[in-house]
Chain A
Amino acid sequence: MDWTTDDGALWLAYRNGDNEALGVIVERYYGALRRYGMKFLVDESIVEDCIQDLFLDLWQNRERISQTPSVKFYLFKAIRHSILGHMRYQQRFANEESLDWDTSLPENFNAESLLIEQETLNGLVAQMHAHMEALPKREREALYLRYYENMSVADISGLMGVNRQSVSNFLQKGLTRIRARWFVTMVLNLFFF
């Protein structure tokens, strides 16, 4: 039972009472869950409390938890649910729309390490950021889950509680803006090079 064991085996072991297995799952997903939780612009300490409660609950209810095809999906769904729950508790009325999404940029991205000139990349990122800020929050979340967390459209639809078609639409709309941007670059290239 170590960091090379796959999720399914760890989950099974944990459900059979192996505390260490759940610990390995904690190590594996703590960072990703925290990062995802903080994207909703809730306080760091609240996110950490939510993650802590989630795992303590998982441990206490281990006999009633079933096997899951994707541990990652299960944990992400649970943490999203508990953050939404926390906001309901705070504001009395809260729905999906009151869930925020962080669009702030990375402070410094090293362009050379991505084989691009810094100035070029700075410009592109600024333009892309403007496009992205105009997107509804849920579309941005879908893009994050798809391209940062490598989740499938099916998992994203299950996670966000919307049907697959809307997830595809979310992703498509986001990418349409990129395509518009891409087209401009291509035309410029045709003219100047």
Chain B
Amino acid sequence: MDRPDYDLNTPEDFLDNEHFRRWVRYRRDDDRIYWEDFLSRYPEKRPAYENAVATLLVIYGHDVPDSDDGAGRLRDLLNAETRPRESTPLWRWLRWSAAAMLAIGLGFWWSRAGREAGDVGRGVAQMAAATQSEWVVRQNDAQAVLLVNLPDGSSVLLSNGSRIRFGREMNGAERDVYLDGEGFFEVVKNPAKPFLVHTDKLTTRVLGTSFRVKSFPGHDEAEVAVKTGRVAVTTIDREAAKPLMLYPNQRMSLVRKNDRLLRAVKDISNTDIVAAIDAEPFDFQFTPVSEAFKILETNYAVKIRFDEEKMSHCTVTAALKDEPFLEKIRLICLATETSFVLNGDEVTISGAGCP
């Protein structure tokens, strides 16, 4: 059991605190908020905190680079083991021909891969094999939309039948996420670290904005629609070509015909709106906080718990059009002098209320 935070005094206290260890190891944004607050509340504990961080880094030691898909190869090996062992001559022959086809296929793939130098795997399915403990995969099979908060603070509303994969820490030079299906993204602005959404047919690159990407594996069409900001799209058949820039209220659709990807760009009309959030302005002008929370609840499919009575006098005035979900909540809390705790898809707001 972790001790309460005011009880953390020596570096050992910190080391024995699981919450602290998780923070140093994964550096998640929700933990960051907690420890920032902790250090500002107890500045006298900073030396102990710094010592404990240094100790953990030394204990953790050198970071091993990821294996190139060792887990995936091992899974394949295991799968092969389940096949029946006794083989009839016909089966043996089939096996050889399958091997030959595989070799030819591999050769073909090799030449393709060579042509598309620097090609990275696309979509969740192909890349799932490379899954390390450092990757997080979220899938939505159950509900209409699922809110996923990314480590950098960005949010994704994942449509039904879709899944997404991302690094647990997102500490690379770029913020890469892999999407199978459809998601609405609100990305934290960070010009130093581009945010890339990879799918099986196209890659969308942004610095901080909100947009929708749809590309189900096996389907012949895909699309990108921009709500705010600017995004750059490259399709996998023309990787080297200049990316296509899309601006607010523009939509690019992609259709695969005879193995070619045809692009079309048009302005978004009302009939193209997939979900309310694509058009919701999140523009609050002296809006009662309960109303603001209701708008967030319906758009993000989350439950927000707060004391209706205490907060009945609180209002919000803010334009939160393309802030990620957690950022919206944080800003509303800042304005109403409250704090929040996130637990799964439930947010609990607490505070004294407004006069």
User: Which residues from chain A sit less than 8 Å from chain B, CB to CB?
Assistant: 2-3, 19, 22-23, 26-32, 34-35, 38-39, 44, 48, 51-52, 55-56, 59-60, 102-107, 109-110, 113-116, 120-121, 124-125, 127-129, 132, 140, 143-144, 147-148, 150, 175, 178-179, 181-182, 185-186, 189
Among the listed B12, B39, B66, which residue makes an inter-chain contact with A175, where contact means beta carbons less than 8 Å apart?
B12
Which residues of B lie under 8 Å from residue A125 when comparing CB positions?
54, 57-58
Contacts of A148 in B (CB 8 A): 25, 59-60
A residues in contact with B58, CB < 8 Å: 103, 105, 125, 128-129, 132
Q: Mark B9-23, 1 if CB is under 8 A from A, else 0.
A: 011100100100100
Interface residues of B in 68-96 (CB under 8 A from A): 70-71, 74-75, 77-79, 81-82
Per the CB 8 Å criterion, the residue count for chain B at the interface is 48
Other A-B pairs, 19, CB within 8 Å; known A34-B64, A105-B58, A144-B60? A19-B79, A26-B78, A30-B71, A31-B134, A39-B61, A48-B67, A52-B77, A55-B74, A105-B62, A113-B171, A115-B36, A121-B53, A124-B51, A128-B55, A144-B59, A150-B18, A178-B51, A178-B55, A182-B10
Residues of B1-53 contacting chain A, CB below 8 A: 10-12, 15, 18, 21, 24-25, 27, 32, 35-36, 39, 47-48, 50-51, 53
Name the contact of A182 in the complex, choosing from B18, B48, B82 (C-beta under 8 A). B48
Residues of A within 8 A of B59 (CB): 132, 140, 143-144, 147-148
| Interface pair B12/A189, CB less than 8 Å apart | no
11 intermolecular pairs with C-beta atoms under 8 Å apart: A29-B133, A30-B67, A55-B78, A56-B77, A106-B62, A114-B53, A115-B32, A115-B35, A121-B53, A124-B50, A124-B51
A56/B60 contact (C-beta < 8 A), A34-B67, A113-B27, A124-B50 known: no
Tell yes or no: B349 within 8 A of A by CB. no
Among B254-293, those with CB < 8 Å from A are none
B309 an interface residue at 8 Å Cβ cutoff? no
- How close is B30's CB to chain A, nearest CB, in angstroms? 14
B 99-128 binary contact with A (CB < 8 Å = 1; else 0): 000000000000000000000000000001
